[in-house]
Amino acid sequence: MKKKVLIISGGISKERLISLDTGLQVSKELKKNGYVVKISEPDNNLSKSIEQFKPKVIFNALHGQFGEDGFIQTILERFKIPYTHSGVIPSSIAMDKEISKKIFIKNKINTPKFFTYSYDKKNSELIKKIQKKLSFPVIVKPLNEGSSVNVYICNKKNIIKTLNLIKNYKKVMIEEFIGGREIQVAIMGNKKLGAIELKPKRKFYDYKAKYSAKAKTKHIIPVDLETNELKQVMEMALKAHKLIGCKGITRSDFKFFKGKFYLLEINTQPGMTKLSLVPEIAAHKGISFIELIEWILNEASKKK
């Protein structure tokens, strides 16, 4: 009998449904291949589930807040059971877009210009500040959400209205809008796994473009880049992965515009759904879904 795996999925973030789907897909694949699997929510019963089931490894299938920001990782540390993906500090750094971008800038990884903004009813100086520091259009996004949740492209006319929509966030990021191509790069341990290009039918690769088949986002693999360009973007992704101290699999999101790559963010727990990019990149490299999952589980068991 193969080892017991506890999958934690669901949660309370805005990415709950994606997490449930990831957990379900991983569970199906593991069961098909002889593993004993239990799925658990990260609720008050989690400790009991872990203690009763006694898993050899925990697959963290959570996405978003409390799942990939160091919170659940802090809880899992006390059980002394290997868990997948990055640990407490790398998870919290990667999830905080402001801190991670400052690390990118300090280490000469190209990223869009930005500043952070705390909600203010007056907003009197905001438009002047944007015109001085960035110029319209701009991207407005929360500091600690994933899957492009509440990310908007804003112009001078609609930015105040947009900020009012998301005023529940204490602080948001206002970022330079970069046009061009959407390139995603997967890192597997310390290995450059591969890249994929996305051509969304929507304005940009937002939540619906990522998770709705109806959005008809085109996935292009292999990516049509010059050899030196592909090498450059892969090196940037690996550098970011190592700088933040990530483990296991990460996926970095880039824009490619006028010959330059811009790193938008690094994702420490990429989705494992039927529309997810990392399994697609892995498959292109000859790595099946079960091989990918087993690698992630084995990598978790190597953590000190």
- Of these residues, 145, 265, 276, 299, which one is catalytic? 265
253 is catalytic: yes
β-pair partners for 58: 6, 83
- Of these residues, 19, 152, 251, 262, which one is catalytic? 251
- Of these residues, 253, 262, 276, 299, which one is catalytic? 253
Amino acid type, 42? P
267 is catalytic: yes
Other CB atoms within 10 A of residue 23 CB: 25
44 is catalytic: no
**What single string gives the DSSP state of each residue in 204-272?**
SS-HHHHH-GGG-PEEESS----HHHHHHHHHHHHHHHHHHT--SEEEEEEEEETTEEEEEEEESS---
155 is catalytic: no
- Of these residues, 205, 211, 248, 276, which one is catalytic? 211
Residue in 201, 211, 196 with CA at minimum distance from that of residue 273: 211
- Of these residues, 147, 150, 252, 276, which one is catalytic? 147
Please name the residue that has the structure tokens 């009813």.
121
**Residues with Cβ < 8 Å from 95, sequence gap 6 or more?**
65, 68, 69, 70, 144, 146, 268
- Of these residues, 15, 41, 197, 299, which one is catalytic? 15
- Of these residues, 67, 87, 271, 299, which one is catalytic? 271
**Residues with Cβ < 8 Å from 32, sequence gap 6 or more?**
290
Q: In what order do the strands lie in the sheet with 138-142?
A: 114-118, 171-176, 138-142, 152-154
83 is catalytic: no
Q: What is the largest CA-CA distance in the chain?
A: 65
194 is catalytic: no
251 is catalytic: yes
For 8, the 3-state DSSP assignment is strand
168 is catalytic: no
d(CA 15, CA 22): 11
d(CA 76, CA 149): 26
Please name the residue that has the structure tokens 């001078």.
156
Which residues are the active-site residues? 15, 147, 211, 251, 253, 265, 267, 271
